[in-house]
Structure 1
């Protein structure tokens, strides 16, 4: 069982004024006003935390970095270790979004420890979720499988829908990446159900993307595209810049798998522009890989493609994306196995 989704990262007066489905422009406006009006270090810490999250979700990474550090400094000044843990969660999540995965793990690990020491259970769960996702993105499944299960157990124990969806979607993604599409689909569909029941529009949007991915892998292209369109409406309504860009990249994946290479190329180009605008290197590199594969299928010179793949492999290795690097190697193998066009 679980209750309605809520947003514990909005604290103090902002916690009663904002909800899990508040648009991030609304959050940024309210948090900025609260920061100006704050009388105490604790109030400034809470307002800056909300401001950091709004800016991060909107793709304003410099402003997000300034805000989470401001939140941490004020929380430390106020002697509030629990709020310091929240700020570290925000900073670690931003670092992951910016492709700084080692920094992300360091900040999130510190956030886990501070939250545990201060008894801030929700911040502890959020930081655990961040650690699990960071390790999963790096392809370190053996190290993070237990973290996902721990988070899921906590979510079920306390009836917290967002924790449950984060954990289950992470497990589903690992199942999908190891070829267990049946279980992956069941888990993603359960995430859709939970987030819908909990009135968590953001969780629903991300979960729909997961369902669409697996349906596409099973050849159900039109159903997948319809679900991505549904998720895109949510992303636009809530100003979810990063989620929208990943939605567009996934649409490119679905079109590519269906052999619609020109449409896929156009969609990857849209996603790349969006990722570049918010300076998100992981998404940008994945979109570049999609573009390279689409252009290759459309007749691009093979040597040019191989040169680009080599650059992408270096980028993925630098960021620490093992699965994506394996994808480059696999596609290079396909390219070199095919007879050259003359």
Structure 2
């Protein structure tokens, strides 16, 4: 299930991708083979009724036994691997071995990626995420080398989901979005829809439950219209989980009940067990632990027919909560410990935080204060790791989202950063709420609490630093630069100079080579400027391809010489990967502080000077000074231009 082992937005949705992707390039010989129609019907039924899919695949293999065709037989075994991966690990591994034996005879080299994906699915379902990830990495490499876009999209989806499960949200989102884009290009709308479900699961794990709920609702409408019954059961469970996180219990109950009903009609034991786990959570939330235990007993019977270790852990967690509510404390602690063993093996930080917090409460009721504190400390540690990871990954995720557009306006970036900061603060408040639970232990454990408080202080300082740093180039952002400029203008000790530096023809690099290469060019120029700027001068990125440099206590002639040095040094950068016929150049607008200046007025003059530099042919420095008082006898304007040609 989502947020459980190998469901990737669906229980077994990965191999649905694998087996469907395998048929994107059928040879004429395969299309005319008598087993082809059976395999086609098996593929169509994968998303609708798994039992029907299995029967058609087995019939196809019988036909292929009489009239062999390696590619068709390999695909049929992958369909069966999809089926058994959720039900019988030994049977799934047997299908993998049969498929592997056929690879030397297969004509399509990308099919090896499908076999690797299937093997990774089996490992992930068993809770071995380390080996699963290695297999997904290999599948991506094999599909890329074979230039097989269908299989590459499948492998990216698998890896993206697992990365999100492990907390690498930005990398996971990049893989999932790329998979969704490839499926759309290949005219595979149902695949793209399942990829969108995977993105929704990632948002759910990042704490954006509202966004996840909206995405699930849209996907469900399309699946109902297409008659994809199995996919409906998956999405309904995901939707129920989102409602559960939002504590919208009536809506969660409705979604879980419908998921259980469809799974029951499809004889889909794993899907029904997950839905029953959700209904038990609803019963616990309504303070009806006896009903929760009755539901969990049914879920446990179904779980025995699946190899899903994480499903077992979720059932034990819900059972531990129910026992706690009934004051059956010893049984609660035992159930929670069983859940912890599985969650720790899978490094599932979300679930570890919840389980340790519940176990701490149970030990406190048992008056086992030492064990209560130890569990609470582990819950807090998991919470802080999640908090820090979500903060770091949220900033990285913003970059992934921004890279999909041609250019994002500066104010949009600031809004997103503010949203990320608000979410970080909300998580921080949640972490502090755990500290209140330590009140009864303060007298005995004061020294340890002091250590926790010191750690919290360092975390807050790091968050503040992140908010003032441009995530792409690593230099201070606009807010940080202007925050330092304001006091310079207010103290009146000497004039300062301000430069706006703009990369020439940057849009051509983006258009010709793509935004990732454009980002690399930005980082290269930023690194060059950072090496040149020394305190008390400071550098910042205004947005887009523009940078700002502030030179305290610097006159016009000295500032112009420094600007010329910046311009010349940028031209020495190695830009052959983008501009084979000329170097990277910059245009610079320069202004000097005047009486009563503000950051806004200085930026306006420097921007006007930059515009003059662009009009003058780029790769030059232009100066715009403040108008002199009417009584002054000196010239009102002054300009400086030193231009280098680009061959």
Alignment partners' CA distance in 1, 2:427 and 2:273: 23
Counterpart in 1 of 2:25? none
Task: Give matches, 1:135-146, under 5 Å.
Answer: 135-146=203-214
2:53 corresponds to 1:4: no
Is 1:14 aligned to 2:77, yes or no?
yes
Aligned counterparts of 2:295 and 2:387: Cα–Cα separation in 1: 32
Scaled by the length of structure 2, the TM-score of the pair is 0.48
> What is the aligned partner in structure 2 of residue 79 from structure 1?
147
Instruction: Please say which of residues 193-202 and 28-37 is displaced more in the overlay.
Output: 28-37
Structure 1 unmatched ranges of 5 or more = none
1:246 CA displacement = 1.8
Cα distance in 2, alignment partners of residues 17 and 177 from structure 1: 34
Contact 1:306-1:332 within 8 A present in 2 as well: no
Unpaired stretches in structure 2, ≥5 consecutive residues: 1-46, 58-73, 392-422, 445-647
The CA distance in 1 between the partners of 2:91 and 2:388, in whole Å, is: 36
**CA-CA distance at 1:268 after TM superposition:** 1.4
Moved more, 156-165 or 24-33: 24-33
Is residue 2:377 matched to residue 1:311? no
Provide the secondary structure at the position in 1 that maps to 2:113: helix
Which of 185, 194, 198 is the equivalent residue of 1:130? 198
Q: 1:109 aligns with which of 177, 184, 196?
A: 177
Report the CA distance shift for 1:29/1:278 in structure 2 as closer, same or farther (over 3 A).
farther
Cα gap change, 1:278 to 1:171, in 2 (>3 Å): closer
- Count of aligned pairs between the two proteins: 339
Q: Using structure 1 for the length normalisation, give the TM-score.
A: 0.86
Q: How does 1:286-297 map to 2 (within 5 A)?
A: 286-297=354-365
1:97 aligned onto 2:165: yes
Contact 1:99 1:282 in 2 (8 A): no
Q: What residue number does 1:167 align with?
A: 235
Q: Residue 102 of structure 2 is aligned with which of 16, 37, 42?
A: 37
- Tell me the alpha carbon deviations over residues 111-147 of structure 1, each in whole angstroms, 9 at most, x when there is no partner: 2122212223343233211111121122202332331
Q: Does the 8 Å CA contact 1:85/1:123 hold for their aligned counterparts?
A: no
Structure 2 Cα separation of the partners of residues 6 and 128 of structure 1: 26
Please point out which of 243, 246, 249 is paired with 2:311: 243
Q: Which residue of 2 aligns with 1:266?
A: 334
CA–CA distance in structure 1, aligned partners of residues 385 and 52 of structure 2: 34
Q: Is the 8 A contact 2:111 2:151 kept in 1?
A: no
Query: What is the Cα-based RMSD across aligned positions, in Å?
Result: 3.1
Which structure dedicates a bigger proportion of its chain to helix?
Answer: 1
CA 1:80 to 1:141, structure 2 compared with 1: closer, same or farther past 3 Å?
Answer: same
Conservation of the 8 A alpha-carbon contact between 2:216 and 2:235: yes
Q: Distance in 2 between matches of 1:230 and 1:23?
A: 19
What's the counterpart of residue 500 of structure 2? none
Return the structure number with greater strand share: 2
Distance 1:245 1:100, change over 3 A: farther
SS of the equivalent of 1:274 reads helix
* Residues 32-41 or 127-136, more deviating: 32-41
Deviations 1:278-318 (A, max 9, x none): 34333333322222222223221576666445423312313
Counterpart CA distance in 2 for 1:60 and 1:312 is: 20
Q: Check conservation: 2:87, 2:305, Cα contact below 8 A.
A: no
Indicate yes or no: 2:113 matched with 1:50: no
Out of 260-269 and 190-199, give the one that drifted further. 260-269
Which of the pair has the greater relative contact order for Cα pairs under 8 Å at 6+ separation? 1
Query: 1:315-330 counterparts in 2 under 5 A?
Result: 315-320=385-390, 329-330=432-433
Task: Give the CA deviation at 1:210.
Answer: 0.4
